[in-house]
C-alpha cells in the first residue's frame, strides 16, 4: 500500500478552461453568475455595479458582452488588500464574479466570454456538496477516532499550539459555541485595543470596543474581527439562511462547518463537550457555503475568496470537506497559492463509494482523505482510489453543532478534519517543519490498512490511516518511568521513612518502535511537603526503542520529613528534555514510609490476593503489597512489618518454598503475626511434612475434604458467631476447589469448622510472641450470601486479634478545607470507577493511576477546573487486574488512595 510520494509543483497559472460541452454529468452551478479572469491587457479591474444602465471596463469586446447579457455587476473575488498580504498570490487581480439575469443560460454566456482574447479563463460558479451523512445518536459521547489516531500519546508531547492557525472552508461556523471560545482567532489588525477578546456578547461577532465598521487592517473587509462570510448568492437558501450579503457573521443554519472545524480544534481539557484533535489551536471562523433545501453546498467563488483571505492572515492549515466532479481553475489557483505560501491543505475524497476523482481533493498539493471506521475498515460510502493520499476515522464522529450543541456524523467530511487535526498536532511538536516535510512525515507513518481491507485494491488505500503518535515516533523517543528506587537510606531497607535521606534512581524505558533517546536530560521534582529533592537530574546517553536503562546520580538525594506516621505513595514529576524545545512529562510513584501490614501475593498471578487488599482498603488499614512474581521477598523487607497476610489462592505445589518458610519462621520468631490463606497448601507435601507446618502453624493435615459452608466456633475470640458460605456474589468464586480439613496440634486452636462434617477448616495459634491464623479454604470466596459474613469481616476479625490499627488515612497530608476528594467508587471496580472532586474555587487538578511498581499507567485528568463538584473516571478496560495507586493533586496538594481492579 505504501507508495512513493510524488506531488506536482504549485501551479499558479490557470489551466485551459472547460468549454461548455465538457462539464461532467452531475456538475451544478449557480444561475446568473460566471467566474471570469480577465487578461492583463484589460487593465485594472475593480468591483462595480451597472449605473444608469451602463457597466464598462473601457474595453470594446468586453463591454459588448456586458451589454449583450445585461451584466448587472462585476465583483472581485479577492480584494487587493487580501492579495497584497498573501506570501504567494494567485492570478486573481482581475478575477471577478460576473452577475447577469438568470434568464440567460450560464453555459451560453460562458462560451461567449471564452471567445474573447481579453479573457484568460472563465467558468461557472460551481456548487459543491458537503460530504456528511445523517446524524447518529446525539447522546453518543465516545471519541474513538482520537484513540485510533494515537492522539492520547501525541497529547503527551503537545496539545497543539496557538501559533498555528486553521480554517475550514465550509458552510459557516457557530462561533458562540462555548467549546470554541478559547481557540477563536481574533484579527490583530481589527483588534484595536489588543485584548484578544473575540466577542463581547454571543449575539454579535466582535469586541464592542473594537467594532467600528471600518476596514482597519486594509484588506477590503471591514470588521472581519473573528470571521468573514463570503456568501452573497442572493437566493437559493432555506428559509432563514443568510445568502444575500457578505458580512462578518459566519453562522449558518447548517451544522456542517461547525462540526468540521470542531473536529480539528475544539477546545480540550475544559470539561465541556468534546476535544478537537489539536485542542490548543487557533481556529479561523469563516463561511463559504449555505444550506439549500437539498443540503449544504459550497460556492466556488466564496471558497477561493475564503482561501485567499485565510492565507493573507497567515493560515497554516486549510480543510476542505466538500467537493464535486469539476476541475476549477479559480479554486486550483487559490489552492496552489496557499501551498506555495506554506499552508497544508486537506480535502475529503467524497461519499459516493467510487474511485472517481472529486475536487478539491484531486488538486495537486492537496492531501486527499478517505474515511474509515474506528476498526480501520474503509467506510462503504468513502471514495477510494490511487488519488487518495490517506484515510482517517469518519464514522460516528462527535463534534460541535449549531446552537451550542453537539452531534455525531458520518462522512469523509469528518475524516478530512481528523487528518487536518493530526497534521496540526504533529506540526505543533515540530514547528520548524515546512508544509512539505510535515506532509511527508505524517503520510509515511500511517498505519497500514491492507489486512483489514483485503477486498479493496491496495493501491486505493493510499499511505494508510493517519497516526499522530506514529508520526512523532519517527523523530522523538517515548519515555516512561518503570520504577523508582532508594538506596543508601539510613536503615538500608530501600524505603524512605521519617527523617531519612536516600539516593534516588530511576528505571526508564523507551517504547519499542520509537526514536532513540540521545542526550536527553531528566529532571525530577515533587510537590510533596514531606519530601525534599536535591540534585535530582540525570542524563540518558543513548536509549533505543524497546530498551530500558537505570538512571543513577550519586548526588540525587531525597530527604523525608518527620510527618510520616505510616506508608503512602508520593507522586514525582519527571520531565524529559528531548531537545529542540520538545519536552515530555511523566509521573512516577515513590512509596514512602512503612505500613504495619503486608499483603503477599503468592497465587501465581491469579489475583486472589487482591480480595484481601480490597478488604484492608475498605476498612481503612494502612498496608503494603508484594508479589512473588516481581522479585524474591527478603528477610530485611519482611522484618519491617508487624502483620503479614499471605495468599496462595488455588496453588497446591510450591505454595510455600523452603525459602518462604525460613523467612516466615524468622519473622514470627521476632514477633510478627501471620494470616495464611490457601486451600491447596495442605496438599503440598513439602509444606505439610515440614517443621513449619507443625511448629509454627500448629497444624496437621486432617486427610479429608471440607465443604462450602463454614461456621465459627462458639466463644472463640476470632470466629464467635461467624458463618460463611463460599459461593455466590462477586468474590473469589473458588470456594468449592479442594477445601482442606485441618487438625490443630501443640496448642493450636480450630476456629472455623465445616458445616458438612464439623471438622476443622482453620487453625489459629498464640504463644505470646506471635499469632498465626491459617485458613484451609478459599476465604476470598465468602461473599456474604444468605446473611452470612463477607470475607472482609473475617479479615477484620483476624487483624483485630493481631492488634492491627485501622482507619489511618493512606495519605498523611491533611486535605485543605477548600477541596474534598471522595473515595473511589466502586472499589474494587470493573471496568470503571469514579472519584468526586469538590472545589471551592478554580484549581488545577491532576489525577494519575500507577501500578504497584510506581509506573504511571493512566492520566485521568490534568487541567484547570472550575469551582463545583466534578467527577473523574478511572477506565480499567485496557488494564490487568490488580492493585493501583490513584493520585489526585489539587493545586499541588496531593491525595493518594488505593484502588483495585477485579476482572
Of 132, 216, 229, 660, which residue is the catalytic one? 216
Please, are residues 894 and 528 in contact by the beta-carbon 8 Å criterion?
yes
What whole-number distance in Å separates Cα of residue 652 and Cα of residue 648?
8
Q: Give Rg (Cα) of the chain.
A: 35
How many of the other CB atoms lie within 10 Å of CB of 363? 24
Give the separation between CA 368 and CA 384, rounded to whole angstroms: 10
Q: Would you say 22 and 111 are in contact if contact means Cβ atoms under 8 Å apart?
A: no
Cis peptide before 423 (omega within 30 of 0): no
Q: Where are the beta strands (DSSP E) in 733-797?
A: 740-744, 749-754, 760-766, 771-775
* Alpha carbon distance 796, 645 (integer Å): 12
Contacts of 783 by beta carbon, 8 Å cutoff, 6+ apart: 725, 727, 728, 729, 730, 731, 732, 790, 791
| Helix residue ranges per DSSP H, 229-341 | 256-265, 300-312, 329-340
Q: Can you count the helices (H) and strands (E) in the chain? A: 17, 43
> Quick one: 511 exposed, middle or buried, by C-beta within 10 A (0-12, 13-18, 19+)?
middle
256 classed as catalytic: yes
Set of cell numbers at residue 559 = 530527604
Give the separation between CA 793 and CA 815, rounded to whole angstroms.
29
Cβ–Cβ < 8 Å for 766, 752: no
User: How many C-beta atoms lie closer than 10 Å to residue 91's C-beta?
Assistant: 19
* Active-site residue identified among 78, 286, 382, 413: 413
3-state helix, strand and coil shares in percent for the chain, rounded to the nearest 5:
20, 30, 50
Are 488 and 506 a contacting pair, CB within 8 Å? no
- DSSP class of residue 734? -
d(C-alpha 409, C-alpha 257), whole Å = 12
Beta partners for residue 408, in sequence order: 398
E strands present in 156-222: 160-168
Residue 456 in contact with residue 383, Cβ under 8 Å?
no
Cβ(865)–Cβ(840) below 8 Å: no
CB atoms < 10 A from the CB of 541, how many? Answer: 9
User: How is residue 159 written as a grid cell?
Assistant: 496539545
Q: For residue 47, give Cα distances in angstroms to 98, 117, 227.
A: 10, 21, 21
> How many C-beta atoms surround the C-beta of residue 855 within 10 A?
19
As a whole number of angstroms, the distance between CA 681 and CA 8 comes to 74
Name the phi and psi angles at 638, rounded to 5: -65, -35
Q: Is 288 helix (H, G, I), strand (E, B) or coil?
A: coil
Does 216 participate in catalysis according to the annotation? yes
Cα dihedral sign, 176-179-181-185: negative
159, 177, 256, 893: which one is catalytic? 256
- Taking the C-alpha atoms of residue 728 and residue 783, their distance in angstroms, rounded to an integer, is 7
Residue 755 half-sphere exposure toward CB, CA atoms < 13 A:
10
Residues facing 510 on adjacent strands: 479
The catalytic site residues sit at 216, 256, 413
Amino acid at each position: 500500500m505504501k507508495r512513493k510520494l510524488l506531488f506536482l509543483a504549485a501551479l499558479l497559472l490557470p489551466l485551459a478552461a472547460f468549454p461548455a460541452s465538457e462539464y461532467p454529468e452531475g456538475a451544478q452551478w449557480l444561475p446568473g453568475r460566471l467566474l471570469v479572469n480577465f487578461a492583463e491587457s484589460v487593465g485594472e479591474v475593480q468591483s462595480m455595479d451597472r449605473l444608469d444602465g451602463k457597466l464598462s471596463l473601457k474595453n470594446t469586446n468586453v463591454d459588448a458582452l456586458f451589454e449583450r447579457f445585461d451584466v448587472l455587476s462585476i465583483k472581485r473575488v479577492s480584494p487587493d488588500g487580501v492579495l497584497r498580504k498573501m506570501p504567494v498570490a494567485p492570478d486573481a487581480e482581475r478575477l471577478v464574479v460576473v452577475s447577469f439575469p438568470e434568464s440567460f443560460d450560464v453555459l451560453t454566456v460562458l462560451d461567449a466570454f471564452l471567445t474573447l482574447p481579453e479573457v484568460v479563463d472563465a467558468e461557472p460558479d460551481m456548487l459543491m456538496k458537503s460530504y456528511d451523512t445523517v446524524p447518529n445518536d446525539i447522546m453518543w459521547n465516545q471519541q474513538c477516532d482520537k484513540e485510533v489516531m494515537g492522539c492520547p500519546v501525541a497529547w503527551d508531547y503537545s496539545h497543539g499550539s496557538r501559533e498555528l492557525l486553521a480554517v475550514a472552508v465550509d458552510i459557516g461556523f457557530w462561533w458562540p459555541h462555548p467549546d470554541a471560545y478559547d481557540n477563536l482567532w481574533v484579527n490583530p489588525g481589527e483588534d484595536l485595543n489588543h485584548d484578544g477578546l473575540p466577542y463581547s456578547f454571543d449575539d454579535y461577532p466582535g469586541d464592542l470596543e473594537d467594532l467600528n465598521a471600518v476596514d482597519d487592517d486594509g484588506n477590503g473587509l471591514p470588521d472581519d474581527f473573528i470571521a468573514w462570510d463570503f456568501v452573497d448568492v442572493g437566493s437559493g437558501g432555506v428559509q432563514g439562511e443568510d445568502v444575500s450579503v457578505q458580512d462578518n457573521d459566519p453562522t449558518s443554519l447548517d451544522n456542517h462547518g461547525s462540526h468540521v472545524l470542531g473536529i480539528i480544534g475544539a477546545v480540550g481539557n475544559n470539561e465541556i463537550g468534546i476535544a478537537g484533535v489539536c485542542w490548543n489551536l487557533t481556529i479561523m471562523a469563516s463561511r463559504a457555503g449555505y444550506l439549500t433545501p437539498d443540503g449544504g453546498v459550497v460556492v466556488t467563488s466564496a471558497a477561493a475568496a475564503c482561501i485567499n483571505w485565510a492565507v493573507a492572515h497567515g493560515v497554516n492549515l486549510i480543510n476542505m470537506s466538500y467537493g464535486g466532479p469539476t476541475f476549477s481553475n479559480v479554486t486550483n489557483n487559490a489552492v496552489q497559492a496557499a501551498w506555495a505560501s506554506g499552508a497544508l491543505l486537506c480535502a475529503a475524497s467524497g461519499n459516493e463509494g467510487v474511485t472517481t476523482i472529486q475536487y478539491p481533493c484531486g488538486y495537486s498539493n492537496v492531501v486527499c482523505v478517505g474515511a474509515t471506521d474506528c476498526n480501520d475498515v474503509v467506510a462503504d460510502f468513502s471514495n477510494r482510489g490511487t488519488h487518495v493520499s490517506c484515510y482517517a476515522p469518519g464514522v460516528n464522529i462527535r463534534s460541535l453543532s449549531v446552537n451550542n450543541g453537539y452531534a455525531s456524523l458520518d462522512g469523509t467530511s469528518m475524516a478530512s478534519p481528523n487528518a487536518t487535526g493530526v497534521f496540526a498536532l504533529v506540526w505543533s511538536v515540530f514547528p520548524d517543519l515546512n508544509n512539505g516535510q510535515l506532509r511527508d512525515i505524517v503520510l509515511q507513518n500511517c498505519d497500514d490498512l491492507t489486512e483489514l481491507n483485503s477486498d479493496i485494491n491496495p493501491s486505493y488505500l493510499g499511505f494508510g490511516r493517519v497516526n499522530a503518535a506514529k508520526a512523532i515516533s519517527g523523530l522523538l523517543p517515548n519515555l516512561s518511568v518503570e520504577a523508582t528506587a532508594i538506596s543508601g537510606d539510613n536503615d538500608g531497607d530501600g524505603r524512605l521513612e521519617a527523617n531519612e535521606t536516600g539516593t534516588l534512581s530511576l528505571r526508564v524505558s523507551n517504547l519499542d518502535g520509537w526514536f532513540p533517546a540521545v542526550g536527553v536530560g531528566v529532571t525530577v521534582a515533587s510537590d510533596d511537603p514531606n519530601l525534599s529533592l536535591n540534585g535530582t537530574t540525570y542524563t540518558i546517553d543513548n536509549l533505543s526503542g524497546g530498551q530500558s536503562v537505570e538512571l543513577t546520580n550519586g548526588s540525587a538525594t531525597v530527604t523525608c520529613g518527620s510527618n510520616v506516621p505510616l506508608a503512602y505513595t508520593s507522586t514525582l514529576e519527571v520531565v524529559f528534555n528531548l531537545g529542540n524545545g520538545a519536552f515530555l512529562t511523566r509521573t512516577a510513584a515513590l512509596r514512602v514510609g512503612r505500613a504495619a501490614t503486608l499483603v503477599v501475593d503468592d497465587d501465581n498471578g491469579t489475583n486472589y490476593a487482591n480480595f484481601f487488599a480490597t478488604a484492608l482498603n475498605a476498612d481503612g488499614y494502612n498496608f503494603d503489597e508484594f508479589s512473588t512474581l516481581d522479585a524474591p521477598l527478603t528477610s530485611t523487607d519482611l522484618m519491617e512489618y508487624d502483620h503479614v497476610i499471605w495468599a496462595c489462592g488455588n496453588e497446591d505445589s510450591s505454595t510455600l518454598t523452603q525459602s518462604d518458610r525460613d523467612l516466615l519462621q524468622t519473622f514470627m520468631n521476632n514477633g510478627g503475626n501471620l494470616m495464611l490463606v490457601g486451600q491447596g497448601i495442605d496438599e503440598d507435601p513439602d509444606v505439610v511434612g515440614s517443621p513449619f507446618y507443625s511448629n509454627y502453624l500448629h497444624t496437621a493435615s486432617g486427610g479429608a475434604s471440607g465443604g462450602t459452608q463454614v461456621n465459627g466456633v462458639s466463644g472463640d475470640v476470632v470466629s464467635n458467631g461467624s458463618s460463611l458460605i463460599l459461593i455466590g456474589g462477586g468474590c473469589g468464586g473458588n470456594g468449592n476447589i479442594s477445601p482442606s480439613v485441618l487438625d490443630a496440634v501443640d496448642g493450636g486452636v480450630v476456629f472455623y469448622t465445616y458445616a458438612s462434617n464439623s471438622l476443622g477448616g482453620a487453625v489459629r495459634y498464640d504463644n505470646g510472641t506471635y499469632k498465626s491464623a491459617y485458613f484451609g479454604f478459599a476465604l476470598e470466596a465468602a461473599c456474604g450470601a444468605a446473611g452470612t459474613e463477607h470475607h472482609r469481616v473475617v479479615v477484620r476479625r483476624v487483624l483485630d486479634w493481631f492488634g492491627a490499627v485501622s482507619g489511618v488515612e493512606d495519605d498523611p497530608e491533611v486535605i485543605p478545607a477548600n477541596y474534598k476528594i471522595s473515595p473511589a467508587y466502586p472499589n474494587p471496580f470493573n471496568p470503571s470507577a469514579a472519584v468526586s472532586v469538590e472545589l471551592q474555587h478554580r484549581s488545577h487538578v491532576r489525577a494519575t493511576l500507577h501500578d504497584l511498581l510506581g509506573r504511571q499507567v493512566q492520566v485521568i485528568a490534568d487541567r484547570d477546573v472550575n469551582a463545583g463538584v466534578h467527577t473523574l473516571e478511572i477506565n480499567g478496560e485496557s488494564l490487568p487486574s490488580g492493585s493501583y495507586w490513584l493520585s489526585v493533586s489539587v493545586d499541588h496538594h496531593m491525595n493518594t488512595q488505593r484502588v483495585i481492579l477485579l476482572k
